[in-house]
Structure 1
Amino acid sequence: MRKVFAYCIITCLVVASRAFAGAGEDGLDRYDLLGPEDRLTASFTYLEGKVVLNNGAVLSVPEGYRFLNAVQGRTLVERLWGNPQNPGFLGLLLPKPGSRTANDLFGIEISMDESGYLSQSEARQLNYNILMQKMQQRLAQDNNWRSRRGLNAVTDMHWALPPVYHESDNTLQLARILQLGKNTAVLNYELRMLTRSGALCLTAVAPIGQLEQLQALMPAMGARVHLPIGQRYLDFNPHTDRLAAWTEKMRRMGEILDAHHFFQGLLNTWLFVAVSLLMVLFIYIMQYVHRRREMPKQLFRVDERLN
């Protein structure tokens, strides 16, 4: 569970906070002028067109965007923006300065989550209330990490929209609102494209008012990522591939907390106990009857000496 959603909470939070701070700046100030590190960012090579990610997937960079590969993206996200390491990091999509989306979107992180195969039946039965509770429980630990680095704490987190799973393209959309401090809130919108071994994640950070735009943008972004044969969702091999065990555990936790499933489980437990007692009683009665049948008949003999 930790590997699956830890980075969803923290990833790009610093991007958002710095973007808010520089919302009134023009040109390349949003991404390229980061104080003393501007010489480093000026050395970055941004890619356009079709880009091959480290996992073999092909990304068609949309018009108005530029792409930083995994090495340079890690430098920007982890070293300059202060985010924690993400082992599955594949790159970063940034709007071009002056583009139509430059003021609407801070960035989209692309990463691979190798948490295991998630079946459609499990995806349909995920308990998102339990999922949110798990992420909220991590806030205290994450806030300690942020406070040591002088970053705003996440004081609240909740769903911006009810999570949605689309069976047609095997994607899961998770939209969260993160409250940073008292006066700043950002939208964290994640599109999880289910794969054979987990999910390819596109996580966008944007101002709070861009929810409707991201609802249309993120599926379009996902359509621009093409997984190679062998990594697709339909390539799953049940004999060799690992299942996402955490989802089954989360689903069962949700069922336990659900009143209907609780009483159904309680009823099933009492039925099991009653049937077990009846079986024990039946075995005891059969043994008693069997012993009675095997008892020898008493023969009465007359002692002749008594005559």
Structure 2
Amino acid sequence: MTNAYRLLLSAALLSLAAPALAKGEAPPSPQEQQKAVAEFKASLHPRTGVIALPEAKARLNLGQGYVFYGPEDSRRVLVDAWGNPADAADGVLGMVFPAGGDFSNSWGAVVTFEDTGHITDKDAASQDYAAVLKDMQEATENANEERVKAGYGRMHLAGWAQAPTYDANRKVLVWARDLAAEGEPEHSLNYDVRSLGRTGVLSLNMVDGMSRLPVVKAAAGDLGQTVQFDAGARYADFVPGTDAEAEYGLAGLVAAGAGLAAAKKVGLIGILLAFGKKFAVLVAVAFGGAWRWLKGRFGKGDDADGQLQD
């Protein structure tokens, strides 16, 4: 099964149907599933072209090749469709998908901005990412107890799907993690694109299945070029001695996973525990969310205008 974490895949839905069938409830047919997805997609508000992100003092020059969904639509995709806890959508500025695709059959990029302070790249060439990976793997294992308590399966960091690489000209750091969630037949791909600004980092966190690595890798390289900070907010606009500076460099940014400002203070294990609730969950969501969502669409819990019920 490709993209195992996708909550709208038929195989996952069928596997969840067993408890319902035991109670005499019929699972939704493929036609009903398709109708639900089509209705949900039609209720969203995709945008193309230049997307202003005032919170980040930046913009995305997406052209016609990508579509952007704003914060409210993104919350519905992340929480209602993908089954993440509500706080997974906190602070999300939007999501980007390839044009012609959607939240159920293609990668999605979660857009956030972290006010990290200025991150120096002076030591970019000397970063020991092998050591960072080892520490992250250990911390991921240590965080599994908390994941289980929160109701999610164990997660294992298998390794880099792409080792961290830094474009010094564009000020873009890219890396990808190969994540194995227990009980899932395919490893998940978590692809990170970080564009450095004057005092913060714009993050595009892409999720998909490992089988689609070539597709996501190409898209990540392209998306990194769409980011443009406003005049005065660019990396080159940094004013030493005046602007706040991060307490870590590029390796700390990778370890944090999404540019957590308190990375050095919290410590690596604390970082992964904190982000495990917001980001790692995106690639290890509970499949039960799909069944609840589709039952809400077809069951007696629907309201008059077809909105989702809690």
Residue 154 (str. 1) matches residue 155 (str. 2): yes
Query: Structure with the greater relative contact order (CA < 8 A, sep ≥ 6): 1 or 2?
Result: 2
Residue 95 (str. 1) matches residue 98 (str. 2): yes
* Distance in 1 separating the partners of 2:231 and 2:119: 18
Taking a change above 3 Å as real, the CA distance of residues 242 and 29 of structure 1, as seen in their structure-2 partners, is farther
Residue 53 (str. 1) matches residue 56 (str. 2): no
Match of 1:18 in 2: 6
The residue type paired with residue 173 of structure 1 is: V
The residue type paired with residue 49 of structure 2 is: G
Match of 2:201 in 1: 199
SS in 2 for 1:63: coil
Which structure 1 residue ranges, 4+ long, deviate > 6 Å from structure 2? 23-28
Note the 1:223-242 alignment, pairs <5 A.
223-242=225-244
Match of 1:302 in 2: none
* Distance in 1 separating the partners of 2:141 and 2:77: 25
Match of 2:248 in 1: 246
Note the 1:1-307 alignment, pairs <5 A.
17-19=5-7, 21-22=9-10, 33=37, 43-55=43-55, 56-78=57-79, 80=81, 81-83=83-85, 84-85=87-88, 88-96=91-99, 103=105, 105-140=106-141, 142-144=143-145, 146-148=147-149, 150-182=151-183, 183-247=185-249
Taking a change above 3 Å as real, the CA distance of residues 17 and 250 of structure 1, as seen in their structure-2 partners, is closer
Root-mean-square deviation (CA, aligned residues, Å) is 3.7
CA contact (8 A) 2:45 2:69 kept: yes
SS in 2 for 1:161: strand
- TM-score, normalised to structure 2, is 0.62
Match of 1:261 in 2: none
* Distance in 2 separating the partners of 1:67 and 1:31: 22
The residue type paired with residue 129 of structure 1 is: A
Match of 2:293 in 1: none
* Distance in 2 separating the partners of 1:136 and 1:195: 28
Shift of 1:87: 5.3
Shift of 1:134: 3.9
Shift of 1:150: 4.6
Taking a change above 3 Å as real, the CA distance of residues 111 and 156 of structure 1, as seen in their structure-2 partners, is same
* Distance in 1 separating the partners of 2:225 and 2:170: 9
User: Which runs of 5 or more structure 1 residues have no equivalent in the other structure?
Assistant: 1-14, 252-307
* Distance in 1 separating the partners of 2:169 and 2:118: 17
* CA distances 1:72-131 after superposition (whole Å, capped 9, x unpaired): 3134324653154465421101235558x985x320111112222122213333321333
Match of 2:300 in 1: none
* Distance in 2 separating the partners of 1:70 and 1:191: 19
* Distance in 1 separating the partners of 2:190 and 2:31: 24
Greater per-residue helix proportion: 1
- TM-score, normalised to structure 1, is 0.62
Shift of 1:212: 2.6
Larger radius of gyration: 1
Taking a change above 3 Å as real, the CA distance of residues 164 and 227 of structure 1, as seen in their structure-2 partners, is same
* CA distances 1:229-279 after superposition (whole Å, capped 9, x unpaired): 12111111112222221338969xxxxxxxxxxxxxxxxxxxxxxxxxxxx
CA contact (8 A) 2:74 2:89 kept: no
When the two structures are aligned, how many residues end up with a matched partner? Answer: 231
Shift of 1:175: 1.1
**Deviation larger for 129-138 or 222-231:** 129-138
CA contact (8 A) 1:54 1:90 kept: no
User: Which runs of 5 or more structure 2 residues have no equivalent in the other structure?
Assistant: 14-29, 254-310
Shift of 1:19: 4.9
**Same amino acid, percent of matched pairs:** 26
The residue type paired with residue 50 of structure 1 is: V
* Distance in 2 separating the partners of 1:30 and 1:239: 56
Match of 1:278 in 2: none
Match of 1:281 in 2: none
The residue type paired with residue 93 of structure 1 is: V
